[in-house]
């Protein structure tokens, strides 16, 4: 039988309760108006691009690049979650940050920024093979979806931020590929003249492998796992169509329960 959600627990929901809340949010998300989804997607891409820009700024310290490359990579990874955490907390959807790159690209006209962008996009797009990008993308969205799960599981704002920050920090530090984040970095690299990086190369070697890798990592490694562990044996109940229609016959969740609608 479906389980009830105990909101009286002081710290966090159980994994089973969290899986149920995510299921509810998914139903609500599927019923969203297309215009709201479109606007939310644009907003999400722009917010994520701010996080990418902050991370890129942190990576442009010449002394650290030469003497402590590992440390500066960790610092860049620590600040990158700013974008994704803000996207999730505001309920925005991830779309594309290419539009923002055209707006703020002038900020990166300095030579130190240009060199870092070219170096970064070369390592992320030119050097690796397509299958490597695909595999890195699997790990990336596995961690991103885990961050979303932890964000739903926590009840207070501080716990949500910390819970989401750690997996996102991990995927950036490990150099995994997030298809939407790359929509900021790669067009910027093309704009800055990265040798060998073209629109066609980015689409077939970067965007497509990263997209399918992200889908596989998020849906199979995270989504299917939590569904199988906590929801597969729950009997579905028929519920009336209309406002508040949710999975497994539960009552309509509060705003807090359905906050984490972003990927």
Q: What is the pLDDT of residues 123-150, one digit of tens each?
A: 888 899 999 999 999 999 999 888 888 9
Residues 45-54: tens digit of each pLDDT: 888 888 888 8
Share of the chain above pLDDT 70, in %: 77
Q: DSSP labels for 85-150? A: HHHHHHT------HHHHHHHGGGGGSHHHHHHHHHHHIIIIISS-HHHHHHHHHHHHHHHHHHHHH
Question: Is the per-residue pLDDT at 112 higher than 70?
Answer: no
Q: Tell me the mean pLDDT in the region 57-65.
A: 75
Please report, for the chain, the start and end positions of each structural domain, with discontinuous segments joined by +: 15-233
In this predicted structure, what is the pLDDT of residue 94? 65
Neighbouring residues of 99: CB distance < 8 A, sequence distance ≥ 6: 42, 45, 46
Cβ(182)–Cβ(120) below 8 Å:
no
Cβ(170)–Cβ(178) below 8 Å:
no
Mean pLDDT in the chain?
76
Cβ(176)–Cβ(137) below 8 Å:
yes
Ranges 69-83, 110-124, 196-210: which has the least confidence: 110-124
Ranges 7-21, 33-47, 245-259: which has the least confidence: 245-259
Reply yes or no on domain 15-233 having CATH 1.20.1080.10: yes
Question: Is the per-residue pLDDT at 152 higher than 50?
Answer: yes
Largest separation between any pair of C-alpha atoms in the chain? 63
**For residues 129 and 231, which has the higher predicted lDDT (pLDDT)?**
129
């Amino acid at each position: 039988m479906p389980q009830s959600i105990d909101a009286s627990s002081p710290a966090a929901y159980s994994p089973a309760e969290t899986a149920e809340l995510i299921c509810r949010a998914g139903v609500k998300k599927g019923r969203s108006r297309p215009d709201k989804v479109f606007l939310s997607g644009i907003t999400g891409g722009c917010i994520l691009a701010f996080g990418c820009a902050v991370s890129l700024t942190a990576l442009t310290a010449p002394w650290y690049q030469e003497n402590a490359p590992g440390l500066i990579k960790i610092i860049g990874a620590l600040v990158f979650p700013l974008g994704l955490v803000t996207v999730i907390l505001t309920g925005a959807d991830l779309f594309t940050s290419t539009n923002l790159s055209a707006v703020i690209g002038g900020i990166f006209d300095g030579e130190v920024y240009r060199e870092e962008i070219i170096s970064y996009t070369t390592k992320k797009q030119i050097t690796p093979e397509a299958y490597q990008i695909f595999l890195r993308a699997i790990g990336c969205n596995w961690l991103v979806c885990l961050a979303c799960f932890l964000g739903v599981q926590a009840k207070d704002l501080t716990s949500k931020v910390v819970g989401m920050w750690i997996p996102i920090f991990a995927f950036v530090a490990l150099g995994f590929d997030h298809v939407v984040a790359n929509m900021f970095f790669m067009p910027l690299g093309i704009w800055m003249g990265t040798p060998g990086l073209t629109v066609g190369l980015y689409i077939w070697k970067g965007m497509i492998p990263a997209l399918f890798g992200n889908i596989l990592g998020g849906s199979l490694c995270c989504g299917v796992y939590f569904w199988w562990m906590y929801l597969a044996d729950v009997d579905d109940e028929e519920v009336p169509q209309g406002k508040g229609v949710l999975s497994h016959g539960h009552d309509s969740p509060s705003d807090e329960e359905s906050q984490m609608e972003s990927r």
